[in-house]
Chains A and B, each alone.
Chain A
Amino acid sequence: KAGVTQTPRYLIKTRGQQVTLSCSPISGHRSVSWYQQTPGQGLQFLFEYFSETQRNKGNFPGRFSGRQFSNSRSEMNVSTLELGDSALYLCASSLVLGSVTDTQYFGPGTRLTVL
């Protein structure tokens, strides 16, 4: 069974640009969460999607947005990139929403560098 896949794995952008990251959950999983990992702030929750609806959101500015498609695949978008957006973006999938009783499986992440 394939794991969580994230594309692209590496990305270099310049300030002011926008970027879209993609996450394909494990087959059959319907919940997708996104996290940002930086050396300074550590791992921080961005948002969680289930059945194409955002169910939970972290404390990030509106430049960070996401969506989920009917096949459970998810994308996140960051507009007007800032240097501080350079980070590893991790996606996690699980079978159901609020998956505390269900393991969240993480993908390998997308390394975004903003110049």
Chain B
Amino acid sequence: AQKVTQAQTEISVVEKEDVTLDCVYETRDTTYYLFWYKQPPSGELVFLIRRNSFDEQNEISGRYSWNFQKSTSSFNFTITASQVVDSAVYFCALNPHNQGGKLIFGQGTELSVKP
């Protein structure tokens, strides 16, 4: 079975705190892609990052960083020094091999950053 699990339904932090959003995936494919999307209240999904299964290098982009560990099938997302504008629902997604652009999404984590 191919599945993405985001165990944290809701997280609430105070501005400037660091926060990590967890993502665990299941697939038997050796080739696959993982994604993170942000969904603000407007509803539009905003692409954050794409990672292929052969690239376990961690990535940092400004206040955002991602930790990909194939050994634990996890692809966690950390926001450093969170800001109110980071409040949104964040989705982790899996693209299985040979399934075109189909994305299998986790249930999402709603992040609330309070001033």
Contacts and interface: CB of A to CB of B under 8 A. Distances in A.
- A and B part of one assembly: yes
Interface of A: 31, 33, 35, 42-45, 48, 50, 55-56, 58, 88, 90, 92, 94, 97-101, 103-109, 111
A42 B93 CA distance: 12
B62 interface: no
B100 A56 contact: yes
Given A90-B45, A109-B43, A109-B44, A104 B101 contact: yes
Main secondary structure of the interface of A (DSSP, over half): strand
Interface string B11-46: 000000000000000000000010001000011111
Contacts, number: 66
Contacts of A88: 43
Contacts of A90: 43, 45
Given A33-B102, A56-B100, A56-B101, A100 B95 contact: yes
A104 B47 contact: yes
Nearest to A99: B101
Nearest to A102: B101
Contacts of A99: 100-101
25 contacts: A33-B101, A33-B103, A35-B105, A42-B106, A43-B105, A48-B101, A55-B100, A56-B99, A56-B101, A56-B102, A58-B102, A90-B43, A90-B45, A92-B101, A97-B100, A98-B99, A98-B100, A98-B101, A99-B101, A100-B95, A100-B101, A101-B50, A103-B47, A105-B47, A106-B44
Nearest to B107: A42
Contacts of B91: 43
A90 B93 CA distance: 15
Contacts of B50: 100-101, 103
Nearest to B33: A100
Nearest to A56: B100
A108 B101 contact: no
